[in-house]
């Protein structure tokens, strides 16, 4: 009993599709992590500016 060639083609297509899905998912997670890091840096800079403003107001108020 032989298996038709199109069955092999379907199986190869499924495997390639799964590999591409894994690759794309990994890339998306990496981009998301980079975006989160950038947002965190922006937030930390804003906190530092607010802290500096508060310190300036405290020094000016003394």
DSSP string, 19-57: HHHHHHHHHHHHHHHHHHHHHHHHHHHHHHHHHHHHHHH
Is 52 or 57 the better-scoring residue by pLDDT?
Answer: 52
Instruction: Fill in the DSSP letter of residue 4.
Output: P
- Mean pLDDT of all residues in 28-40: 97
Model confidence at 60: pLDDT above 80? no
Could you tell me the pTM of the whole model?
A: 0.62
Tell me how far apart the alpha carbons of residues 18 and 25 are, in angstroms, rounded to a whole number.
11
Model confidence at 38: pLDDT above 70? yes
Is 60 or 15 the better-scoring residue by pLDDT?
Answer: 15
- Determine the pLDDT at residue 19: 98
- Determine the pLDDT at residue 62: 66
Dihedral sign, Cα of residue 51, residue 53, residue 56, residue 61:
negative
């Amino acid at each position: 009993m032989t298996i038709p060639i199109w069955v092999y083609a379907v199986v190869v297509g499924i495997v390639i599709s799964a590999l591409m899905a894994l690759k794309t998912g990994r890339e998306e997670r990496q981009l998301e992590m980079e975006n989160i890091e950038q947002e965190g840096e922006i937030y930390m800079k804003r906190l530092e500016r607010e802290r500096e403003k508060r310190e300036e107001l405290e020094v000016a108020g003394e």
